[in-house]
Amino acid sequence: MILLQYRNMLKIRLQRTGRINLPSFRLIVTEHTEGPKTGNFVDKVGTYNPRTKERKIDEVRIKHWMSVGAKPSATVHNMLVSLGIINAKKINILPQYKAPEVAAAEEKQEEVEKAAEQEAKAEAKEAFEAEVQAQTAEKETPETPPDEPKEEEAPAGEAGAEGKPAA
């Protein structure tokens, strides 16, 4: 029996057929893991032509597959609701709407975060530049002031301060 063979979750979805720029669709029942383009489907339950808005749907087969446990995709669900086959509300397929106030608040938050990040970078750059300037100033200044004469030390093997050779 068909019920024993298909224990996985079944989907009722649209399968695109037709040429380029001339779409038409089949309503098929397939396992949820199978893609609609594979061609492996359990049952063909209808067709839909979006150019002429013509729909040929086998209501008995759809109700049978739904009683077995097949779930329609969101688009097929809305189609079945509009035809009166299912008594339910339509599903919103479009992305969720963000209110303008929420979007503006998110933008302001992002701007504040960017400004804080730029300030931190500027402070780090100033600190680094100050450190580099301090290091170059240290290298340029002599260790003894220029007013005082610098005493020269004699090397270890030569005469000492009195001018006598070291014994």
- The DSSP annotation for 19-57 comes to ETTEEEEEEEEEETTS-TTS---SEEEEEEETTTTEEEE
Taking 60 as the threshold, does the pLDDT of residue 160 lie above it? no
Is residue 8 in a domain? yes
Q: How many domains does the structure of the chain reveal? A: 2
Q: What is the mean pLDDT of residues 2-19?
A: 76
- Torsion-angle region of residue 18: left (phi > 0), alpha (psi -120 to 50) or beta? left
Statement to judge: residues 9 and 65 lie in one domain: yes
The C-alpha angle 96, 98, 100, rounded to 5 degrees, equals: 160
Statement to judge: residues 72 and 106 lie in one domain: no
Domain that holds residue 103: 98-139
Statement to judge: residues 70 and 113 lie in one domain: no
Statement to judge: residues 63 and 6 lie in one domain: yes
Is residue 152 in a domain? no
pLDDT of 6: 53
Q: How confident is the model at residue 1 (pLDDT cuts 50, 70, 90)?
A: very low
Average pLDDT, rounded, for the chain: 82
The pTM of this model reads 0.53
Statement to judge: residues 27 and 50 lie in one domain: yes
Statement to judge: residues 78 and 7 lie in one domain: yes
Q: What is the token pair recorded at 15?
A: 């399968």
Q: How far is Cα 150 from Cα 144, in angstroms, rounded to an integer?
A: 8
Q: How confident is the model at residue 62 (pLDDT cuts 50, 70, 90)?
A: very high
Give residue 81's Cα distance to chain centre. Answer: 34
Statement to judge: residues 79 and 28 lie in one domain: yes
Statement to judge: residues 15 and 68 lie in one domain: yes
